[in-house]
Amino acid sequence: MKEFPIPVVAFGPGSQPEEEDLQYLPLPAAMMTFALPVLNEEADPALMAAVCAVVEQLRTKMEATPLASSPIPVIELQEMDTEVVRLLNQTMGEGEVSISVRGSSAYRIQETVFAGVWRLHEFAALTRDAIMACAIPPIVTQWAREDASLDCTMPEKTPGIMNALSVLTEIVGKARAYKAGDAAHVVNLTLLPMSPEDMECLPQTLGVGAVTILSRGYGNCRITSTRLPNVWWVQYFNSMDTLILNTLEVSDVPEVAQASQEDYEDSIERLGEWLQVMQEPAKLDA
């Protein structure tokens, strides 16, 4: 009897070697949702009344001012009692987006829990402190263009460079053609074959601008201006701080950092609800 030339292999459950489990990058674990700030029930009633007056004034201005209008609703706070400002900060809370601006004046900008309502601090000889309502504070786009230039010197192709030069050619061309209000142009570097040398070449050529934005809506999105006008790094990280999406964007300011029309309208309504909550203790005391 001849030997069977094809080896016999058993079939069925348990007969095959187990495959290794696929390893996926963990996605962001939780999405931030709206929640009213915690009310300080022990606050001085006079201070709380002053805070309510500021919030009511801002809300009234927002109702009268569409989101895309200019000038935007602003209330200057630098001359206000520091205890009132401290309580205002506490009662408005901190939202998803924080912004730092570096330049001749340094700014820290924090969105409140009410989307489209921002606290702005300027640290300079003449310190500015304000609360405002807008898609994003105008100072962000102003400083993102500060010292930026369309004169971008293209690097030479060196060993290891694969796609950096073609990406730079595309980005520089789009930046030079860009006009305010144009649709964003996005280059998704995550989907391109990019060598380590490519990823060194891009930031070296584009430089680092004055504006850094962190948006924490779903995971973390870090946005950094470059030295090329209207060109931004937009990078998404999961909860393990692993880069999961890496893009370059040509736009005024990336949309992920801005409050939308719906956000603005919701905040007007929620500010009204929050005013009722803040004013309730005063009514009970009366």
Q: What confidence tier does 235 reach under pLDDT thresholds 50, 70, 90?
A: very high
How many CB atoms are located within 10 Å of the residue 71 CB? 10
Q: What is the mean pLDDT of residues 146-161?
A: 90
| CA separation, residue 201 to residues 93, 196, 204, 240 (Å) | 40, 9, 5, 26
* 28-83 tens-digit pLDDT: 444 455 666 667 778 899 999 999 999 999 999 999 999 989 999 999 999 999 99
Q: 104-143: per-residue pLDDT in tens? A: 678 899 999 999 999 999 887 668 899 999 999 999 999 9
205-to-80, 115, 127, 210, 270 alpha-carbon distances in Å: 45, 35, 34, 16, 44
pLDDT at site 8:
42
CATH match for 45-135+260-285 among 3.30.300.180, 3.30.1370.140, 3.40.50.800, 2.60.40.10: 3.30.1370.140
Mean pLDDT (the chain) is 86
Domain layout of the chain by residue ranges:
45-135+260-285, 144-257
CATH of 144-257 among 3.30.930.10, 3.30.70.3270, 3.30.1370.140, 3.40.109.10 = 3.30.1370.140
Give the pLDDT of residue 11: 44
**pLDDT of 198 strictly over 60:** yes
Residue 5 has pLDDT above 60, yes or no: no
Residues contacting 15, CB < 8 A, separation 6+: 9
Instruction: Answer whether residue 12 shows pLDDT above 80.
Output: no
All residues at 6 or more sequence positions from 74 whose CB lies less than 8 Å from its CB, including other chains = 130, 131, 132
Distance CA 113, CA 270 (A): 10
pLDDT of residue 34: 60
Domains 45-135+260-285 and 144-257 are alike in CATH topology: yes
Give the number of residues written for the chain: 286
pLDDT at 257 over 70: yes
pLDDT of residue 147: 83
Residue 23: predicted pLDDT: 46
pLDDT higher than 70, residue 193: yes
Angstrom distance (rounded) from CA 81 to CA 74: 17
